[in-house]
Amino acid sequence: MTTRILVLPGIGDVYWVMVKLQDWMRQQEITDPEIWVWDFDQRPRSREYIERIPFVKFGGYYHDRDKSGPEFQESYIMAGRVVYSGFRDFDYYIAFNGILRAGLTLDDAMPGVASDWFFPLDQTRKEEAASAGYRLAYPTGYIVAFFSDHGMFGHWVREWGADECAALVTRLREETNLPVLLTGSHWDRTFAAQVAERSDAVDLTCKTDADQFFALFRHAKACVGWCGGNTILSTYFRVPTVIGWHRYFQHAGFYANACPPSALGQWYQPIVVGYHQPADAVCNLLRLMARQR
């Protein structure tokens, strides 16, 4: 019997659920999970990510902008429940955002349920072909970057504007002799274009399909940028990664707990935009890259 599970829409939102889901389903004796993505902001995303996860099946997008119920507030903002049975038309709604925002861990939310931070993620043939293309285009490698002014990231760009982000990109290029490739979706395009205009970054915003996107992050030499599903995905791939967080999130524990525990200080370093400067991001990334040599 199919079990319909609703999750929040971002790659990071989905990732945190999947870290715990295998063992949780085993304990619940769920054998046919169908994952639905709650598209509450008219930005449907993460389908291709879920389709790469072999122990679940993508169900579809749940198009509903109504977040007025107490469950969303509790799951997204508060340190409350993470599993909601019988939510709307779904067997379960699962979200760890509130727990993480409170500075707690996934284990705090689900004690006794095993975590697999590196669960399997399939590669398609098209992704393998895209990987080969990147190796030809950038034979010495490349660094991926993510900067945006969309939504909450307006707080970030008040600390580091396009000039500061461009300076970061330029310094990385000088220090590593590697091209910096800007990534993002159409809602990130305007700010990324401003960064590209002020630096020699290659602007790939809106220019990668899902296969190219996953290939890009899977094989990067390093990654830097704002906190997001793409930069969190980079830590899953064990790519040296510096993620810029902001005091918009009040609990610093979130910065560490959003990514694999084994990554912290080894191939992942969080920094706080506004408290740290672009030069700090460069220095930290160079340090992490040196560890990987």
The CATH topology of domain 125-292 is: Rossmann fold (3.40.50)
Q: Where are the domains of the chain?
A: 3-102, 125-292
Instruction: Enumerate the H helices of 52-188 as residue ranges.
Output: 70-76, 97-101, 106-109, 125-137, 154-157, 162-176
Query: Do 56 and 26 touch, CB atoms closer than 8 A?
Result: no
Using pLDDT thresholds of 50, 70 and 90, give the confidence band for residue 55: very high
Using pLDDT thresholds of 50, 70 and 90, give the confidence band for residue 292: confident
Q: How many whole angstroms from its chain centre is CA 25?
A: 23
Sheet strands side by side (includes 3-7) = 57-63, 33-39, 3-7, 92-94, 83-85
Predicted model pTM: 0.97
Query: Do 246 and 228 touch, CB atoms closer than 8 A?
Result: no
215-264 pLDDT, tens digit per residue, is: 999 999 999 999 999 999 999 999 999 999 999 999 999 999 999 999 99
Using pLDDT thresholds of 50, 70 and 90, give the confidence band for residue 293: confident
Q: How many whole angstroms from its chain centre is CA 40?
A: 18
Sheet strands side by side (includes 180-182) = 202-203, 180-182, 143-146, 222-226, 241-245, 268-272
Average pLDDT of the chain is 97
Average confidence (pLDDT) over 149-155: 96
- At residue 1, the pLDDT reads 84
Provide, rounded to the nearest whole percent, the portion of the chain with pLDDT above 70.
Answer: 100
Average confidence (pLDDT) over 135-164: 97
